[in-house]
């Protein structure tokens, strides 16, 4: 595969770069580049800018609002947005449930939901994991019983990211207990404002409210919100997870974070010299950079397969494993570089002063919280151990 950009692709990069630099709000960019917490409004504001430009869903078919771009163009947009400090487009709508509705939904569902996903008028969350049904997702117990033209849903979902903001949730529910456990699962679209839904926060180790428990108690869901056939939701689930795992790789964001790591290591000192001149630390950085280069090539291969209409195969699992390992390694090396300056997660550290005395460089303050938060990336979307099982089955036939 030739990874050199053609003159046309370079011209496209220049166009994208000019757009992002001129339209991305600086206050949002600073939050991203300084690892500050983003609010829902930050994401929605940027997504609406992309929507007005027609660039919010470059991977969708043109007839549903996509751009018609090839995989290289989509990769260029992702790189330029990451480099400039743009918030990632929230995956649950554009990259997850949207493609499922396009592939398996009926005409009403496409007309009802796809435009609102594109415009960010609906904020989606994912109802997959449950207590006792995480990596073994097919063991889920949330039940939907059909009563006339509605399903009655009862059960619990957990680790539901940003459910506190969501208008809609796409859920895997059990509609049958006969046959294989995968055969009794259906895919429902549920309005989060429906009576009987309760969202309870889960405060994570770094002090953030990013994930939640979602409880369903006799929640009425119209049958028209069933995607695909009843009992065939596992097909939708696998399709969605393959796209989720590809996105989790985060190649463009990791390239940006690698540049930040090198900058930090050039500022921090060891034995009077920049840390980046220390051979052992420089070797660790080089290993991560080499892994990231290999990951980018794999990512381009997956994009090329997608262009030809082939869904991601075991490559999606490879991207998920290596992508998350690289993300975690970057956070670890940043912590190593700044040492004790990353330790305090205090308001004073964010302002860079404590009783008038400097507590360390500004870039150090958010690193501990980021390190703790990134412990999860090797678990969600299917743990890396499960991904290795998938690779062994699909490639080695084990």
Return the CATH number at 338. Answer: 1.20.140.10
Q: Identify whether residues 364 and 296 lie together within a single domain.
A: yes
As a whole number, mean pLDDT of residues 247-265 equals 92
The average pLDDT across 176-183 equals 88
Last residue of a domain, one of 89, 107, 139: 89
Please report whether residue 297 resides in a domain.
yes
Let me know whether 309 and 227 are in one domain. Answer: no
In angstroms, how far is the first alpha carbon of the chain from the final one? 29
Q: Are residue 228 and residue 273 in the same domain, yes or no?
A: no
Say if 300 falls within a structural domain.
yes
Residue 113: inside a domain, yes or no?
A: no
What the block records as the tokens of 118 is: 């594109």
244 has catalytic annotation: yes
pLDDT tens digits, 201-226: 999 888 889 999 999 999 999 999 99
Question: Is residue 240 in a domain?
Answer: no
Cα torsion for 98, 102, 106, 111, to the nearest 10°? Answer: 60
Residues spanned by the domain of 373: 249-396
Q: What is the mean pLDDT of the chain?
A: 90
pTM: 0.87
Instruction: Indicate whether 104 belongs to any domain.
Output: no
Regarding whether 165 and 41 lie in a shared domain, the answer is no
Q: Are residues 264 and 330 in the same domain?
A: yes
Question: Residues 372, 264: one domain?
Answer: yes
The predicted pLDDT at position 221 comes to 98
The number of angstroms, rounded, from the C-alpha of 330 to the middle of its chain's C-alpha atoms is: 17
Nearest to 159 by CA among 194, 199, 196, 191: 199
The per-residue pLDDT for range 346-388, each reduced to its tens digit, is: 554 455 444 445 467 888 888 988 999 999 888 887 788 888 8
The per-residue pLDDT for range 53-109, each reduced to its tens digit, is: 999 999 899 999 999 998 889 889 999 999 999 999 999 999 999 999 999 999 999
Residue 223 located in a structural domain: yes
In the chain, the percentage of residues whose pLDDT exceeds 70 is: 90
One domain, residues 137 and 36: no
The answer to whether residues 291 and 224 belong to one domain is: no
Nearest to 97 by CA among 171, 156, 159, 41: 171
| Together in a domain, 373 and 257 | yes
Query: Which single residue is written with the structure tokens 């290993």?
Result: 287
Residue 382's pLDDT is 77
- Judged against a pLDDT cut of 80, whether residue 192 lies above it is answered with yes
Residues 212 and 256 in one domain: no
The residue annotated as part of the active site, out of 78, 79, 210, 244, is: 244
């Amino acid at each position: 595969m030739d990874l050199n950009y053609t003159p046309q692709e370079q011209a496209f990069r220049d166009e994208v770069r000019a757009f992002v630099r001129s339209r991305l709000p600086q206050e949002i960019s600073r939050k991203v580049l300084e690892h500050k917490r983003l609010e829902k409004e930050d994401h929605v504001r940027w997504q609406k800018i992309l929507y007005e430009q027609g660039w919010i869903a470059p991977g969708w078919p043109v007839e549903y609002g996509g751009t018609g771009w090839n995989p290289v163009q989509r990769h260029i947009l992702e790189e330029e947005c990451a480099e400039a400090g743009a918030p990632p487009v929230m995956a649950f709508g554009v990259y997850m449930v949207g493609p499922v509705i396009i592939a398996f939904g009926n005409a009403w569902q496409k007309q009802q939901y796809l435009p609102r996903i594109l415009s960010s008028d609906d904020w989606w969350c994912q109802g997959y994991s449950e207590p006792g049904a995480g990596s073994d997702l097919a063991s889920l117990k949330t039940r939907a019983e059909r009563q006339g033209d509605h399903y009655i849903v009862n059960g619990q979902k957990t680790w539901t990211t940003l459910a506190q903001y969501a208008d809609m949730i796409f859920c895997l529910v059990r509609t049958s207990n006969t046959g294989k456990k995968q055969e009794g699962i259906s895919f429902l679209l549920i309005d989060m404002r429906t009576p009987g839904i309760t969202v309870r926060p889960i405060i994570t180790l770094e002090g953030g409210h990013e994930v939640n428990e979602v409880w369903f108690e006799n929640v009425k869901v119209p049958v028209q919100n069933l995607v695909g056939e009843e009992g065939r939701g596992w097909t939708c689930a696998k399709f969605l997870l393959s796209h989720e795992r590809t996105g989790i790789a985060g190649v463009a964001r990791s390239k940006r974070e690698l540049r930040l790591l090198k900058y930090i290591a050039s500022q921090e000192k060891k034995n009077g010299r920049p840390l980046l001149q220390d051979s052992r630390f420089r070797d660790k950085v080089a290993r991560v950079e080499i892994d990231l280069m290999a990951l980018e090539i794999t990512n381009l291969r997956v994009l090329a397969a997608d262009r030809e209409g082939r869904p991601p195969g075991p490559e999606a699992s490879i991207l998920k494993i290596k992508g998350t390992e690289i993300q975690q390694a970057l956070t670890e090396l940043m912590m190593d570089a700044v040492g004790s300056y990353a330790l305090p997660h205090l308001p004073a550290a964010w302002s860079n002063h404590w009783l008038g005395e400097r507590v360390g460089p500004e870039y150090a303050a958010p690193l501990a919280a980021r390190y703790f938060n990134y412990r999860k990336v090797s678990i969600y979307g299917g743990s890396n151990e499960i991904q290795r099982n998938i690779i062994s089955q699909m490639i080695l036939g084990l």
